[in-house]
Amino acid sequence: MDFLRPSTLEEALAAKSAHPDAVPIMGGTDVMVELNFDKHRPGALIDLTRVPELARWGPDGDGVRLGAGVPYTRIIAELGEHAPALAQASRSVASPQIRNRGTVGGNLGGASPAGESHPVLLATDAEVELASVRGTRRVPAREFYLGLRRTARQDDELITAVLLPRPAGPQHFSKIGTRNAMVIAVANFSLALDADKRTVGTGLGSVAPTPIRAEEAEEFLAGEFDWDGGAVLDEAVVRRFGELVSSVARPIDDQRGSADYRRHAVGVMARRALSWSVTDYRKSLQDPRGDARCA
């Protein structure tokens, strides 16, 4: 097994092109588990921690371009305003030591259906930037997850960044597990309201072979939501939203939870995320310059 240490993005892309079966390693929090337990032995590891571009974030149009190698600890500290739901999700990842190392790029590379980033990227309509020696392309997160741990990334491509649109309304993330730390989600959920476009985004994790959206629930809520006044929603609307979210789940029974529990839990999380979002939305209407979503 080779250990490749590119120090520029160009070198990294050349290495991935020359060794398409090589596994990129950044925080190592997934890759090293596989190696320590000898579950998987790739032909080579490509250490990406020395590629400076990957560890940066900055403005991109209206939104933010987040380098694939920025660890969760920095997302929490630096991106709470630009990507509130992603910062919330980052806070729920594992433990401080893991958050110091783990990255959104790694989450996308592994593409576990339980990964914390995925529901947020789906709900907020983020894009994934993929690069290879052939060039760079941006794939909507909503088209990125193809099957169980299978994504739109080609073998010679590296995940270099995610593009996070500017928040145009409340965003929330919620996760269920047996304790607060060190938990692989039994189910997780993200909701994002876009007050400019008057659309709703959802993302569900750990309830299907891939992270998924609840499109019918999104359309239903976009139609029922009081975008002008932010009126508190009828209980029947909230209940229906939860039911529509639950209805797209295709969970399995496993050691972390039963399929029935997951289907139920994701509906409960959807209703809660909705009530938090209505509260945020009403606050932002009362004090638009205070901008509750940046609090």
Partner 1 sequence: MRVTFTVNGEQVSADDVWAGESLLYVLRERLGLPGSKNACEQGECGSCTVYLDGVTACSCMVAAGQAEGCEVRTVEGLADNRGEGDEKRLGTVQEAFVEMGAVQCGFCTPGLLVQTDDLISRTVGAGRGVPEDAEIREALAGNLCRCTGYEKIIDAVRVAAERESAKAGGAA
**Residue numbers at the binding site for partner 1 (CB under 8 A):** 1-3, 5, 25, 27-29, 31-33, 35-37, 41, 44-45, 47, 49, 73, 94-98, 100-101, 180-182
**Minimum CB separation from partner 1 for residue 196, in Å?**
35
Query: How far apart, in whole angstroms, are the C-alpha atoms of residue 177 and residue 181?
Result: 9
CB of residue 42 to partner 1, shortest distance in Å: 9
CB of 75 to partner 1, least distance (A): 14
Compare residues 75 and 208 and give the one whose CB is closer to partner 1: 75
Q: Is 293 helix (H, G, I), strand (E, B) or coil?
A: helix
Q: Which amino acid is at 35?
A: L
Angle at 69 between CA 68 and CA 75, to 5 degrees: 90
Residue 198 CA: distances (Å) to CA of 23, 32, 124, 169, 254: 41, 43, 13, 9, 38
Number of Cβ atoms within 10 Å of the Cβ of 33: 11
Residue 206 CB, nearest approach to partner 1 (Å): 18
Q: Which is nearer to partner 1, 101 or 283 (CB)?
A: 101
CB of 114 to partner 1, least distance (A): 15
Give the 3-state secondary structure of 145-161.
EEECCEECCCCCCEEEE
Phi/psi at 83 (nearest 5 deg)? Answer: -145, 70
Between CA 259 and CA 208 the distance in angstroms is: 10
What is the C-alpha separation between 113 and 100, in angstroms, rounded? 22
Pairwise CA distance, residues 161 & 131, whole Å: 9
Which residue lies nearer to partner 1 by CB, 26 or 207? 26
Residue with Cβ nearer partner 1 (31 or 68): 31
- Smallest distance, partner 1 to C-beta of residue 159, A: 18
